[in-house]
Each structure stands twice: as C-alpha cells, then as structure tokens.
Structure 1
Amino acid sequence: MTDDPYAGGVSRLLAPDERLLAVARADVAAGVTAPEPPAAPVEAGGAGGGPGFLGALLNVVSPLVSFPAGDRLVDRVVYGVAGRGEPGSAASRLALADRRTTMRPGLRERVLAVTDRRLLLCVTGPTSLWSGTGDRSAAELEAIWSVPRADVAAARVGWHRLNPKRLRIEFADGSWVACTVPIAQSGDPLRAIAAALT
C-alpha cells in the first residue's frame, strides 16, 4: 500500500490511531443511483414534476434537450442501475456527495478508502486531464462522505455488462452502490477494497 499514490493523502485524513487497510481510485458507476436525501435541494424540473414520456423521448432523440426524467431513462437503458436505496440511505448520501463533487470546477478524481473503522469517499484537488500519477495532488485529498464499517453489510467485485471490474457495496440499511475503474485499469485495487470490507 505504501506505493499507492493516494495512501499518503488518505492517511492525513485519519485519526492518529486509525489504520488504513485499502485504497483505490474509483468512480461511482454511471447509471441510475439512489434518490437524493429529503433535505437535499431539488433542482428546477427535478423529481416530482418531470415532463413524463414526451420529455424522456425528446431526451433520447436529441441529447441537447435535457430533462431529469429523460436523463434517468437514458442512464437506465445505457448504463443500468448503479445503486438503490431509500432517500437518506447510505447509498443516497454517497450519490449526493458524488454529484456535488461533479458540480465543482475542475476535474477531480475519486478515491475509496477502507480503514479499521470506516469506509470513505475522498476527492482530489483539481487535476489536469493529462496529469500523471506523480502530478496528482494527493495532499489536497478531502473526505466528502464516510460511514462506519459496521454500516457495510457486504462488498464484492463482479461482472456488469462488459465490465468485469465493478465493485458493489451493500449497506446494512438495504441500500447499495456500485463503483468502477476505467476499463484499461487493473481491478486489483477494487478487489482489495472488497476484501478489506468483508
């Protein structure tokens, strides 16, 4: 683990007696995820009053016409389901934290970390598209979401459509979320995360 470029950045976020078990660069999988928690602000045209079938059809016909209901339909057809759970569940809070990160300026990488106490989702500072591993700003890692280890019920890496490296994390509240790495990267870090969680 000492050769992982993110281990040092994650270690700075831990309590003095907390031990890092596994770390992996991973993204929340594309697709339909758990709905946002009830206290989260709802954007205009969000859940509850979507444009219905016509809006979804327009979204498929022309990607420039965007409706949340159409986005969810396209995500379900193209990517499948990437998470489920009630609003406010662990998967719902993780998906919200990830969505808020995408709204920040700059390209940021997600990092999953498992310690002897908790599961964390961290983000790097803004990186360039062509930055190498040495250029990543691990010093700027920030924890955007975490749950105690007791809240994780199971974790496994398996196939989903054409991707053999999809990590599925199931929580004690019945929700779940999927994480992936780019297809060209090794799945070993995700397997290490799954092993550390089980």
Structure 2
Amino acid sequence: MNQERREQAQGFLHPDERLIAACPYELGPGVPLPPEDLLAAPEPPDLGRRIEARLPRSLRQLVTRGHDRAPEPVEDPGAALAHGTSMEGGWQSAAGQFLVSRANARGSATGVLAVTDRRWFGLSDVSPLWQATPVMKQYWEAPRSAIAALRAGTGVTQRGRMEIRFTDGSWVAVLASVPAQAAPFAAAAAPQRGRAAGGPARFRRGPARRGRRPTPGTAQGSPAPRASAPRTRPGPRRRR
C-alpha cells in the first residue's frame, strides 16, 4: 500500500523536487469539522453527476453519498475523554487551515500525507464511489519550515496516532491507516537539524606553551620587572 501512495504522490512533485516519504492517513477521533461558513461552495456538476442522474433512485442515493463524501470526524462528547485532545488552535491557525482545506476537497475519509525535500502536501481521492480508479487531488501544502514536528505514538488507545505540530503552536491529530507506518513516517519527516552554514568553526585547543612562571603580582606571560641595584651613599672625600 505504501508503494502505491508514493506513486500517487510522485505525480504532484515539482521539477527537481525529491519525495522523502508518503503515508495514508485519516483524521483522529474528536477532530472538529470546520463550520460551513468557512467552506467553499461545491464544484458544479460534471459528467459523473450526469451519469448518476440516469441511475435508479436507490443506487443514485448511494452513489451521491459516496461522491459528496467529506471527512466526518467523530463528534462524540466522550471522544475527548477516551482519546484526549485532538486539535489545538483556532480556524485561522495553521492546523485550522489544514482542516478547512481538507474539508473543501470533499474527498474520501482516507488521504495521503507526503513530505519532500521542500514541503509537505496532502492528497485526497475525489473520485465517485462507483469508480474503481482513484482520482487524487492536492488540497493542502506548506513549506517544511511551517511544521515544527511530527510526533508518533502519542495515543494510548489509538494505534498509529500522529500529531502534526506547526510552528505557530497549533496542532492536529491524525491516524496512519497502517499503524506500523506511523513511526517510520515520523522519522523520515523529521526536520533536518544541522550546523548552520557560515557558523563559527570550532578549533581544537592545542597544548599550552611552556614558559617562565609569572612573578606574583604580574600578569601571566609578561616579563617580570628587573630588580634595581641598591643605592649606596658616597663616602667622604679625602683631602690631598
């Protein structure tokens, strides 16, 4: 499955961009649904909708529900108690904008998270339910500098839980569709931390030079003051 997701993500790479990792995921339990006033209007009908109009009513209702499928988070009041907090931040935060973009895609509940050497981006399958071949759509992207960390293994009762933590302090919980892929994906997506270019170079301290011991009261390394000869009083002159 992961190889298939990587191939799907490869089609959305920019020129000279390198894919690092891809992981199928879904939203964690308790993640809220964005309000309707923040969502864009649905796209106009396409050929698929015209085909659906010719289907029997019973089958049409099933297909229509599949076509208009959108993320349906668990809004159970007990979800927060059972699974903990699943989001932090308002709708204008980075985590909120991620959820709004995802809901606007009106795709399947399972999406794909991809990380490249430049950015993060998310994909969603927007194909109708009756279509076997997935149609992937990119609904969100962000530079790698916008994500502070991806924490895996944060849920006690949720296998494959990951927390996408953004640099503005907001975060959202997601679940890897294959729980075993959560830890490897988080490790591959970790921010690259290295020595900044142009930083001060470190030099190894060499052995100290041996020299004269400084005289008490003088600075180390400076020559000791020369001792002056004692003055003698001249004796009486002899008269010739």
Q: Shorter-chain TM-score: which interval?
A: 0.5 to 0.7
2:29 match: 30
Q: Which residue of structure 1 aligns with residue 13 of structure 2?
A: 14
Could you tell me the percent identity over the aligned residues? 28
Structure number with greater Rg is 2
Give the TM-score taking structure 2 as reference length: 0.55
| CA deviation vs aligned residue, 1:70-120 (integer Å, no higher than 9, x gap) | x4735434544211113311100111123334x45xx45300100111111
Flag structure 2 segments of 5+ consecutive residues without an equivalent. 41-74, 191-240
Provide the C-alpha distance between the structure 2 equivalents of 1:149 and 1:8, rounded to a whole number of angstroms. Answer: 21
Give the equivalent residue in structure 2 for 1:92: 96
After TM superposition, the score normalised by the length of structure 1 is 0.66
After TM superposition, the runs of 4+ consecutive aligned structure 1 residues lying more than 6 A away are none
- Give the structure with the larger helix fraction: 1
Distance 1:79 1:35, change over 3 A: farther
Does residue 164 of structure 1 match 2:165?
no
Aligned to 1:197: 189
Deviation at 1:159, TM superposition (A): 3.8
| CA–CA distance in structure 1, aligned partners of residues 31 and 110 of structure 2 | 20
Query: Structure 1's 72 and 98: CA in aligned 2 closer, same or farther, altered over 3 A?
Result: farther
Structural RMSD (CA): 3.1
Alignment of structure 1 residues 143-158 onto 2, 5 Å? 143-158=138-153
Please give the secondary structure, in 2, of the residue aligned with 1:21. strand
Question: 1:65 — aligned with what?
Answer: none
| Aligned-pair CA distance for 1:6 | 1.7
State the number of aligned residues: 156
- 1:18-97 counterparts in 2 under 5 A? 18-33=17-32, 40=38, 71=75, 73-77=77-81, 79-97=83-101
Q: Which has the higher contact order (CA 8 A, sep 6+)?
A: 1
**In structure 2, how many angstroms separate the alpha carbons of the residues matched to 1:124 and 1:7?**
14
One-letter identity of the residue aligned with 2:90? E
The 2-side partners of 1:181 and 1:128 are apart by 22
Q: 2:15 aligns to what SS in structure 1?
A: coil
Q: Secondary structure at the match of 1:6?
A: helix
Alpha-carbon distance in structure 2 between the residues aligned to 1:121 and 1:154? 16
Q: Distance in 1 between matches of 2:153 and 2:113?
A: 17
Structure 2 Cα separation of the partners of residues 122 and 35 of structure 1: 18
> How far apart, CA to CA, are the structure 2 residues paired with 1:87 and 1:195?
28
Structure 1 or 2: more strand by fraction = 1
